[in-house]
Amino acid sequence: MNSKKLLLIICSVFFVVGLSKAQDHDYIGAPKCKMCHNKAAKGSQYDKWAAGPHAKAFETLASAEAKKYSADPQKDAKCLACHSTYHSASADLMYTIKAEEGVSCESCHGPGADYKSPAVMKDKQKSLAAGLIDPTEAVCKTCHNEKSPTYKGFNYAEYVAKISHDDPTTE
């Protein structure tokens, strides 16, 4: 290989690494969000999530039903991709989040390490720039699709109502 070509390869590797660094944010886990998002007057987001289907998604993989589809579902990367936030992104981004959390806040809202501070969170544009994601139907469908061995179909309006954790003080 000539040196010009080598230089080109080295440059593009740095470019790609640089790009992914700019987009990668660490995962902090639901208990960190709870500090600010569990007041009853503002919608008890943490308690609603903890009582809902997503919080138990990792636990579900230990059930007899789950073992119909895999010998060891809690260790099967195929299942974990949709049943665990902790196991669905690069290990070096898992900061304080725990494996047992199942599908937690950050699978829908984006990894929180860089938007969690009050100064950023109070400003929607700054939050979006720091990794906050507005959860849309497309986000749900990354997991609610035919690749799920138990897929039952997905109706956004109906499903989003089932997991609703609206803040009644915002519009």
Q: Which residues bind ligand HEC (CB under 6 A)?
A: 28, 30, 32-33, 35-37, 42, 45-46, 49, 53-54, 56-57, 60-61, 63, 65-66, 69-70, 73, 76, 78-79, 81-83, 103-109, 112, 116, 118, 121-122, 124, 135, 139-140, 142-145, 147-152, 159-160, 162-167, 170
Residues 26 and 94 sit within 8 Å (Cβ to Cβ)? yes
Q: Which is nearer to ligand HEC, 22 or 41 (CB)?
A: 41
Residue 100 C-beta: closest distance to ligand HEC, Å: 13
Instruction: Confirm if 167 and 48 have CB atoms less than 8 A apart.
Output: no
CB of 112 to ligand HEC, least distance (A): 3
| R_g over Cα of the chain | 19
**To the nearest whole angstrom, how small is the minimum distance from the Cβ of residue 17 to ligand HEC?**
25
Rounded CA separation 130/127 (Å): 5
Surface-to-core class of residue 48, CB atoms within 10 Å of its CB (0-12 exposed, 13-18 middle, 19+ buried): middle
Q: Report, in Å, the least distance between residue 20 CB and ligand HEC.
A: 20
- Contact criterion met (CB below 8 Å) for 147 and 78: no
Which residue's beta carbon is nearest to the bound ligand HEC? 112
